[in-house]
Amino acid sequence: MARIASNNKVAQKVQNPRFPGNNLPTSPGKRMVNHELIDKSEDSGSSDGEEFDGTVQADFEFFDPKPSDFHGVKILLQTYLDDKQWDLSGFVDVILGQPTVGTVIKIENDDDDGIYSIVTALNLGRYKDLACMADLKEFLLKACRQKDVFSKLSLFLGDQTKDVGLLVSQRVVNLPPQLLPPLYDALFDEVSWATEDEVR
């Protein structure tokens, strides 16, 4: 059930990461990784005749989702269910309504406040009565072509929905893949903490 855009058009290499490898902090708030992107496209020269060496420096920051991220997350997820018309705004509201689980990636000091990746998990049972979840369920069942898988999927989206988590993972195509493992590690930690908090 996870969607990840995986068409990489840019080769990446890590340059002086502020948090090496899997050591990104998992506490709430801002985290940062520094990446140097190497553009391998043939048309990487600038339009005014200046020489462009193909390197773009970017400091990526990791944040807990918040309401001001609405438009950036909505743009990132606009093709989440292909071209289906559905309650995407409601879906984004659900994602941003649980800030203790999930992470968005932005570029440091970006005035546009664009979102480059979102990773979160939603309990389908908790939100089963919302229109966006009904649309999502309908889409998944229509997309399923195998009868044996369809029966299991129907069960997961029906009677067992309280035990099902939907992994929402979307990113721009040229986001450095090195950023993804720490995102998922943090997500599993956050889900564990949220589950422990609900049990108490």
What are the structural domains, with CATH classification, of the chain?
11-199 (3.40.630)
Catalogue the E-assigned strands of 48-136. Answer: 55-63, 103-107, 117-123
Highest mean pLDDT among 8-12, 184-188, 191-195: 184-188
140-171 pLDDT tens trace: 999 998 988 999 999 999 989 888 999 999 99
Measure the CA–CA gap between 175 and 173, rounded to whole angstroms: 6
Structure tokens at 37: 């992107």
Global confidence as pTM: 0.71
Structure tokens at 22: 């899997």
Closest CA to 35 of 58, 53, 56, 52: 58
Measure the CA–CA gap between 28 and 1, rounded to whole angstroms: 26
Highest mean pLDDT among 10-14, 65-69, 111-115: 65-69
Edge-to-edge strands of the sheet including 55-63? 11-14, 31-38, 55-63, 103-107, 117-123, 165-171
Measure the CA–CA gap between 105 and 35, rounded to whole angstroms: 13
57-89 pLDDT tens trace: 778 889 999 999 999 999 999 999 998 999 999
45-65 pLDDT tens trace: 445 556 766 676 778 889 999
